[in-house]
Chains A and B, each alone.
Chain A
């Protein structure tokens, strides 16, 4: 039982490049989400999904796209990387219940945009 798996762990991008951060969970959780964590700002929600085929925007969605074709996978796409997207990105999942049961996080992706 791997939980939530994120890849890659580290990435350096040049401004304007695009990339996809991968997230997979094997707990059959309906809810999945992407957060970014920046110093002094806490975790901020980028996009979330309450089930396969359903996605919605969070607090800071600009510059990111998501899709949810299966229950297991929830990739995050950076369309045209900007230095402001330098951050640590966490994928999280939860069983149904509006977040009442807490989240399981992946180990994170440290992204630097130069």
Chain B
């Protein structure tokens, strides 16, 4: 099993739709979790951290399920500008152990 797994997509959704991505991880001792956004031919940018209690930032909600070892990202009311690749990042502890998923591509269509 890969350390971090994501569905590569693409997820093609209409404007205004709600879309959710999951990311599974194999190391149950993982301590911190993040979602990054990467636009085509650009650098990854931190979107949000993922906490055990879940967190919300506007239209974006991130949740952690430790029992099933996955994190999720929910995007409500999708905008064209949300089109990007979303990377999940898992840190089991230690800088050198941070693992990036290969990303899920989202395409929001008019």
The reply to whether the CB of B17 lies closer than 8 angstroms to some CB of chain A is no
Q: What distance in Å separates the Cβ of B90 from its nearest Cβ neighbour in chain A?
A: 10
Considering only residues 57-114 of chain A, those with a C-beta below 8 Å from chain B are 58-59, 90, 94, 98-100, 102-108
How many Å lie between the Cα of A41 and that of B103 in the bound state? 9
**B95 engages A31 (CB within 8 Å):** yes
Contact residue range for chain B?
20 to 34
Q: What distance in Å separates the Cβ of B8 from its nearest Cβ neighbour in chain A?
A: 8
Known A-B contacts A40-B102, A42-B101; the reply to A48 vs B96 at CB < 8 A is yes
How many Å lie between the Cα of A78 and that of B94 in the bound state? 25
Contact of B95 among A50, A105, A107 (CB under 8 A): A50
**B45 engages A105 (CB within 8 Å):** yes
Known A-B contacts A98-B94, A100-B32, A100-B91; the reply to A42 vs B100 at CB < 8 A is yes
The reply to whether the CB of A56 lies closer than 8 angstroms to some CB of chain B is yes
How many Å lie between the Cα of A98 and that of B93 in the bound state? 7
Considering only residues 1-56 of chain A, those with a C-beta below 8 Å from chain B are 31, 33, 35, 40-43, 45, 48, 50, 56
The CB with the most chain B CB atoms within 10 A, among A45, A48, A99, is that of A99
Q: What distance in Å separates the Cβ of B55 from its nearest Cβ neighbour in chain A?
A: 13
How many Å lie between the Cα of A33 and that of B49 in the bound state? 20
Considering only residues 1-25 of chain B, those with a C-beta below 8 Å from chain A are 4, 8
Question: Nearest 6 pairs between A and B by C-beta?
Answer: A105-B43, A43-B100, A102-B46, A42-B102, A42-B100, A99-B98
What residues of chain A have their CB less than 8 Å away from a CB belonging to chain B? 31, 33, 35, 40-43, 45, 48, 50, 56, 58-59, 90, 94, 98-100, 102-108
Besides the known contacts A40-B102, A102-B46, 6 further A-B residue pairs in the complex with CB atoms under 8 A apart: A33-B95, A35-B100, A43-B44, A99-B91, A100-B31, A105-B43
